[in-house]
Chain A
């Protein structure tokens, strides 16, 4: 009897529990029906990239990273807009988005006119207000800050927009003239700026920035900018609170750690907009339906997948998880990709390795004959053959300090610059120049970079034959030692900007310039003067002259351009090789998918 009672009680409670569970179940079901696929329809291309995305504005110092830049290239905040750079490092104008041309040389005046149909991805028109804002950001016009070079802290005045790029050049412009029914601006440069063609006055949407600064419209922001005086570090004035707010938003407001809940951050002027982002995994961009420019894409969706490990990219392509990869170039990767039937595009990267000699009074290379003798021993062909040729059989030794082989100026410059003196290893010639001396050369390189290690070993083997004593100064901390005089020669790489000349005064400028670690003074004036030239042929002439001078002075030797490869799945067509930081993305509008991936 007792047992029975208990059973009944248990049964009652079981029923109660079941009832509660049923209620909870009803609350926890989805409205879905029969299982069916909801994967993206239509053309989708998945591209493997190394680094995660961190910011919708890649022009700040902290967000100036490759993936951010590529997303910016697709959404129009950086690198596309009025112009883009093609795979021959030529500037191509996108006249459908807007036109710009130099209307006068003296003073240099450039007019930008937008297409009337240009719209942001939220449907708002792109106007001169947006261009004025982009100009204000890029020019640093309103900054009156004095910055302590040691700590980087502002000592007096105000720094509004903080940008990764230099303001040099654009800082010589006055407040632009707005015209053509608020669709054009005209920039007047007080001193000519050689790279004017790279200036792209489209960045962040002014109506969004105005909103975040507490203003009601983009026009109000323009009004504010127009009313403010040009900043002067010598006479700092009280900061403008509204501009400060706007600047704070542009500087850090776009930095994200998760897909933003604030949809204002996504507003873009380019062909694609970001539609989702899973940190560490993938970022998806879909077509901007309002885009009216010339870079109309064929594909609907571009997915970035973040794969840090270079070898993992190759397996992911083989396994069909990504369509385009840009892995570390090696003969093995190349062959592995070919074996799986992927299309392999090989080419040169925009960065090149070079050997620099230190010019100092007391150093071993103060004697030009010793410099020449050392350079004669450098086995450039052998280094190229072992590092680059297996990946890119067409690669040639780099013979110019200034130009890259796919630039049209390269051939002419190489002919006249005297690089032919170092074409072949000339041990006998080196011995003759040394005349019995056995100089000791301390050669620095990055031990963490296998290419540099191989270069060092090859150079050491060759130079020793001519009587040099090579001291191995390889170090993982090499970059700290640059320019400190503890070495006689150094192997490292420069990233060539391809288009533009801003690196010239850095590397070949007078002793003390930021990138002149050699103490080399032979081309200083010339390099600085290029920055204010208005005639492109003058610039080329000056560049040729620098190129020649460096070889005459036995400044050092360019070695080779790093090889690069893209692996492309057979599904995707239209991808072309590009050596700069945009990599495969540079012609995204030409991509198409053969069969629509389901």
Chain B
């Protein structure tokens, strides 16, 4: 294992060096950092050109300049010496100074998009596979191909025009018209009936109930000014937490499993109790508090699952943890909603942002800044995740269909296991195996996509750094960008291999 990792690292470094040479030559020979100065009418143009030439060593031929750059970059490998030298930009900023800030923004954006794309992609993939060739399946298939064929910046622009500006305009007078209430009701009803399935009569009932329920809910929200002062409220919280507990049990253990139901129930009760008890603490919370509370919730879930025991402790632990964590998340959402009116006041009632990753000079507590991050990152994240969401849906659907045709699934069914157990415990894990490889490739695509998303949404990340530096031929930031991106691509490939090996017992790393 150790020798495998060492070999991989060595090979990776050699690959990085070769790729950096390729990149450096392409950039150096394709761009001219002096172009702007050459066409200037400044009286001391020659002096300015000479100054830039000497600062960026433009008089050294590119292959040699690459050598100099590599020498500086190699110092990054010396641990703790802090002697990294990636050169400076045209405006004399050290690349090592600007890179970390940019990296943080991008990692935040890409990680969020990646996780959401994987979670939603797999969920929808599973659902469509289980309802193969249904209306839902065909619709989702078409939509995912359609998303796959949309240029990234088109999506970004449309999101800004319609979602951001449209939603903010809606908030000026937040009354949902009857047309929209009906439309949303019909769409939601259609989705539910397709999900539940069954014969025509049952579908029709599901459609009517879910559609009407949704429509009434939206009408109520609209009529009570919920969009200005959103919140779930104590009753809503109790109902929703109970739903989480029952849902988690039903999905993971089956409702007939008493032990699991008890675990989920305990966690739901604790969650409801802490919802009421914790409000004063939330008012003075910092981000650290919330992280600790999250960890405590996880521990409580696991401990309660363990204490309840039963023949399948592992399952109990999972049910407990999932119930606890999801309920806590719901409590956080409710608390954040309480800060929403304050936030609306801070941003002149136009919450959804089109630019940047935070409102300048916004004070306020963790809830207000949290909402601020959400309203700024929501659209870019959606724009980015749509790039890869489609492929996760397609691959997980195909993967599950493939797995479901395998002999061991037939065996499991023949044993009389319920369909839920077959899917969740036998098929799911095996379906994930090929997806690990997709994740590694997808990270590269997302990082590339971030170039466009960051530009459209004005987020000061790596992509922005790259595209704004490449134009004027500012080679050092471009190379700094390359270094980080390439290292990440290699790292994720490596992680994918490890994940592959851990999921697939037939693969062993030597």
Chain A residues with CB under 8 Å of chain B are 3, 7, 10, 14, 17-18, 21, 24-25, 27-40, 46, 52, 54-55, 60-63, 65, 147-153, 162, 164-168, 252, 255-258, 276, 278-282, 284, 301, 303, 305-309, 311-312, 315-316, 318-322, 477, 479-480, 482, 492-495, 502-503, 505-507, 514-515, 597-598
> Who on chain A is nearest to B99 by CB?
A257
CB-based contact B284/A32 at 8 Å: yes
Interfacial chain B residues near A312, Cβ < 8 Å: 160, 354-355, 455-458
Binding stretch for chain A, among B36-44, B111-119, B319-327: B36-44
Tell yes or no: B219 within 8 A of A by CB: no
CB-based contact B98/A257 at 8 Å: yes
CB-based contact B53/A63 at 8 Å: no
- Tell me what chain B mostly uses at the interface: helix, strand, loop, or mixed: helix
Which of B40, B49, B345, B358 is within 8 Å of A152, CB to CB?
B49
> Who on chain B is nearest to A496 by CB?
B41
Tell yes or no: B353 within 8 A of A by CB: yes
The distance in angstroms between the C-alpha atoms of A319 and B455, with both chains bound, is 17
The distance in angstroms between the C-alpha atoms of A258 and B94, with both chains bound, is 11
Interfacial chain B residues near A503, Cβ < 8 Å: 41, 43
Given A61-B48, A305-B355: A151 touches B364 (CB 8 Å cut-off): no
| Binary per-residue interface labels of chain B (294-313) against chain A in the complex, 1 for a CB within 8 Å, 0 otherwise | 01100100010011010000
Given A18-B296, A29-B284: A278 touches B42 (CB 8 Å cut-off): no
- B contact residues, total (Cβ < 8 Å): 88
Tell yes or no: B362 within 8 A of A by CB: yes
Q: List 6 A-B contacts (CB under 8 A).
A: A18-B296, A152-B54, A257-B97, A284-B360, A321-B355, A480-B35
Interfacial chain A residues near B460, Cβ < 8 Å: 52, 279-281, 306
Interfacial chain A residues near B367, Cβ < 8 Å: 35
Given A151-B53, A280-B101, A282-B360: A257 touches B93 (CB 8 Å cut-off): yes
CB-based contact A25/B292 at 8 Å: yes
Interface centre among B52, B55, B458, by most chain A C-beta atoms within 10 angstroms, is: B458
The distance in angstroms between the C-alpha atoms of A257 and B157, with both chains bound, is 30
CB-based contact A152/B457 at 8 Å: no
The distance in angstroms between the C-alpha atoms of A248 and B494, with both chains bound, is 46
Beyond the given pairs A21-B295, A276-B361, 18 more chain A to chain B contacts, judged by CB atoms under 8 angstroms and listed by A's residue number, are: A7-B307, A10-B306, A31-B284, A37-B346, A61-B48, A62-B51, A256-B93, A257-B97, A280-B101, A281-B460, A312-B355, A319-B350, A319-B354, A321-B355, A479-B36, A505-B43, A515-B41, A598-B348
Tell yes or no: B59 within 8 A of A by CB: yes
The distance in angstroms between the C-alpha atoms of A257 and B48, with both chains bound, is 22
Interfacial chain B residues near A255, Cβ < 8 Å: 91-93
Query: Closest Cβ of chain B: how far from A370's Cβ, in Å?
Result: 26
Tell yes or no: B85 within 8 A of A by CB: no
> Who on chain B is nearest to A502 by CB?
B43
Tell yes or no: B47 within 8 A of A by CB: yes
CB-based contact B354/A321 at 8 Å: yes
Which of A30, A37, A168 is within 8 Å of B43, CB to CB?
A168
Binding stretch for chain A, among B161-169, B181-189, B194-202, B429-437: B161-169
CB-based contact A479/B35 at 8 Å: yes
Tell yes or no: B338 within 8 A of A by CB: yes
Tell yes or no: B257 within 8 A of A by CB: no
Interfacial chain B residues near A17, Cβ < 8 Å: 296, 299
> Who on chain B is nearest to A275 by CB?
B361
CB-based contact A319/B168 at 8 Å: yes
Interfacial chain A residues near B355, Cβ < 8 Å: 305, 307, 312, 315-316, 319, 321-322
| Segment 17-75 of B: residues with Cβ below 8 Å from A | 32, 34-36, 38-55, 59
Which of A61, A282, A319, A494 is within 8 Å of B52, CB to CB?
A61
Query: Closest Cβ of chain B: how far from A482's Cβ, in Å?
Result: 6
Interfacial chain B residues near A256, Cβ < 8 Å: 93
Tell yes or no: B356 within 8 A of A by CB: yes
Query: Closest Cβ of chain A: how far from B459's Cβ, in Å?
Result: 8
Interfacial chain A residues near B346, Cβ < 8 Å: 37, 39, 598
Interfacial chain A residues near B368, Cβ < 8 Å: 35, 37
Given A151-B59, A280-B460: A63 touches B360 (CB 8 Å cut-off): no
Interfacial chain A residues near B365, Cβ < 8 Å: 30, 32, 35
Query: Closest Cβ of chain A: how far from B196's Cβ, in Å?
Result: 40
Tell yes or no: B357 within 8 A of A by CB: yes
The distance in angstroms between the C-alpha atoms of A193 and B288, with both chains bound, is 63
Which of B307, B366, B458 is within 8 Å of A309, CB to CB?
B458
CB-based contact B286/A279 at 8 Å: no
CB-based contact B464/A280 at 8 Å: yes
| Segment 94-127 of B: residues with Cβ below 8 Å from A | 94, 97-98, 101-102, 105
The distance in angstroms between the C-alpha atoms of A318 and B161, with both chains bound, is 10
Which of B35, B42, B286 is within 8 Å of A506, CB to CB?
B42
Query: Closest Cβ of chain A: how far from B77's Cβ, in Å?
Result: 23
The distance in angstroms between the C-alpha atoms of A7 and B308, with both chains bound, is 10
CB-based contact B55/A284 at 8 Å: no
The distance in angstroms between the C-alpha atoms of A3 and B307, with both chains bound, is 10
> Who on chain B is nearest to A52 by CB?
B460
| Segment 206-240 of B: residues with Cβ below 8 Å from A | none
Tell yes or no: B281 within 8 A of A by CB: yes
Given A284-B361, A305-B360, A312-B355: A320 touches B289 (CB 8 Å cut-off): no
CB-based contact A34/B456 at 8 Å: no
